[in-house]
Amino acid sequence: MPEAPLPRCFALVPCAGTGARSGAALPKQYLPIAGKPVIAHTLEALSRVPRLALTLVVLSRDDDAFEAAVHGFSNARGRVARCGGTTRAESVSNGLESLAAHGARERDWVLVHDAARCLVRPQWIERLLDACWADEVGGLLALPLADTLKQAQAGRVAATLDRRDKWVAQTPQMFRLGLLRQALASSGPGVTDEASAVEALGHAPLLVTGELENFKLTYPGDFDLAQRLLGACR
- pLDDT tens for 91-103 read 999 999 999 998 9
pLDDT confidence of residue 25: 66
- pLDDT tens for 69-120 read 998 888 879 999 999 999 999 999 999 999 999 899 999 999 999 999 999 9
pTM of the predicted protein model: 0.93
Residue 193, domain member (yes or no): yes
Residue 183, domain member (yes or no): yes
Residue 2, domain member (yes or no): no
Specify the number of domains making up the chain. Answer: 1
Residue 153, domain member (yes or no): no
Residue 213, domain member (yes or no): yes
Domain that holds residue 106: 9-139+169-233
By the 10 Å C-beta count (0-12 exposed, 13-18 middle, 19+ buried), 182 is classed as middle
Domain containing residue 33: CATH number? 3.90.550.10
- pLDDT tens for 8-38 read 999 999 999 765 554 556 889 999 999 999 9
What is the dihedral sign for C-alpha 148, 165, 93, 44? positive
167 sits in which H/E element: strand 167-176
Rounded mean pLDDT of 172-196?
Answer: 94
DSSP state of 64: -
